[in-house]
Structure 1
Amino acid sequence: MTTFGLIHGGFQTSWCWGKLRDELERRSHRVLTVDLPVSDTTADPDAYLDVVASAFGSAPDPVVVVGHSIAGWTAMRLPDRIPVEGIIYLCSCINLPPGEYEDEPLPVISADPADWTPDDVGLITMAPDAAREYFFHDLDPALADEAISHLVRQSVTGVAGPTSKPTIPAVPASYVKATDDRAVSDAWATWAATLLTGRDALLIGGSHFPLLSRPQELADLFEQIVARF
């Protein structure tokens, strides 16, 4: 049995993990989730880390932490706070310091910047059509509608990354890249996998949300990853 700590990405709540959580629990794994304060304009990445460390810190065993999308930065720093068995970067993106890596392929996000524009208070609203295009294009329409209904506004404060070149944690790590991810740039994800894990990305088909579109396949892949940890 593995204890998985699942951290959702931007515009999300822990609702998005439901199908994968059910699949992992069916296989007798323990699953922990958390709701990040993504709509709080005062909550920075340090606040996200505090919330996750509090939620997962009482686990009886070291956690395999899964950081989806912008939660990659939170997942990367969690080993400094609680016992972590390993990290799975799932379609992750981290806003690294500009110019720190000369070979970094930019942009990180492949979506149209017009769909990510914050309002006057620093909140981004993901329109339903944009969510279908970038997040949920391979979901059954009814499930896509449900996923869209659970979207929340995302504060730009929370998507900031490190201010200097980060230290890669000394725990086993794997990066899972979706082959039809329309949110995170394929070139960036390929590059980041090597930076963050020291190896090539593992592939899964479909969109930025394999946790919704392919929960059984993703659970299989997670078990394979953990077996190598």
Structure 2
Amino acid sequence: MATFVLIHGGGGTAWQWHLLDAELRERGHDVVAVDLPTEDPDAGLGDYAGSVVQAIGERAGLVVVAHSWGGFVGPLVCDRVKADLLVLLAGMVPVHGEPPANWWENTGFGMKDIDDAVDLFMHDVPPGLAAEASRRGRTHAEKALAEPWPLERWPDVPTRFLLCRDDRWFPADFMRAMARERLGVEADEIDGSHSVMLSRPRELADRLESYL
């Protein structure tokens, strides 16, 4: 059985994984999910990765799953621990020296107005669950957004890229192209919104298990 290390995205929390956590534990796996120190003005990218590494402890058989902005953190974790697999779930793929704040322009994505966060990120999540996720949202301090991404090369770990076909934030065509250009891989695909861990936890668990 595996240990799934679940890394949330910008403004997120470990809570967003709770349905997937339950699915994976029912199947006999271990799960590690922590709140990244996004609200700490003194925390940099290394601190984010350190919080995950500390939570992992002595566990082995690691599958690191990094969602969205967590794509900046997942590879840093894999550079510090022995992981069997890294999965970027609708993940932002960084390159050496790139501050996260510059990713949007560098990839040609630009920025969108977030007039309705539920419609953009959670349109297929049950309304009560989407409301709770919105209530739990957190701010993101500047330091980790402005720091250059430190790794000179991608960590030596097998990597899968899993996009969400119905994602209104990161459209599928954009993500397919980014996976090819920045990782040199063809993206895998799953139905669902950007918050697929809340809308389709069983299907996501099935897909993650299929990677083992």
Normalising by structure 1, what TM-score?
0.81
Moved over 6 A (4+): none
- How far apart are 1:159 and its partner, in Å? 3.4
In the TM superposition, 1:1-229 aligns within 5 A as 1-59=1-59, 61-94=60-93, 96=95, 97=98, 105-107=107-109, 111-112=112-113, 115=114, 130-160=116-146, 162-163=148-149, 166-195=152-181, 197-226=183-212
Q: C-alpha deviations, 1:3-48, integer Å up to 9, x for none?
A: 1111111111110000000001111111111110111122121110
Q: Indicate if the aligned counterparts of 1:139 and 1:213 stay in contact, CA closer than 8 A.
A: yes
Aligned-residue sequence identity (percent) comes to 35
Q: Indicate if the aligned counterparts of 2:8 and 2:68 stay in contact, CA closer than 8 A.
A: yes
CA pair 27-160 structure 1, distance change in 2 beyond 3 A: farther
Unmatched runs of 5 consecutive residues or more in structure 1:
116-128
Unmatched runs of 5 consecutive residues or more in structure 2:
none
- How far apart are 1:185 and its partner, in Å? 4.4
CA pair 207-166 structure 1, distance change in 2 beyond 3 A: farther
CA pair 26-145 structure 1, distance change in 2 beyond 3 A: same
Letter of the 2:86 partner, please give it.
I
Q: Indicate if the aligned counterparts of 2:76 and 2:151 stay in contact, CA closer than 8 A.
A: no
Q: Indicate if the aligned counterparts of 2:4 and 2:62 stay in contact, CA closer than 8 A.
A: yes
Question: 2-side partners of 1:30 and 1:163: how far apart?
Answer: 29
Q: Indicate if the aligned counterparts of 1:172 and 1:197 stay in contact, CA closer than 8 A.
A: no
Question: 2-side partners of 1:170 and 1:220: how far apart?
Answer: 25
**Range with greater deviation from structure 2 (84-93 or 154-163):** 154-163
Q: Indicate if the aligned counterparts of 2:90 and 2:161 stay in contact, CA closer than 8 A.
A: yes
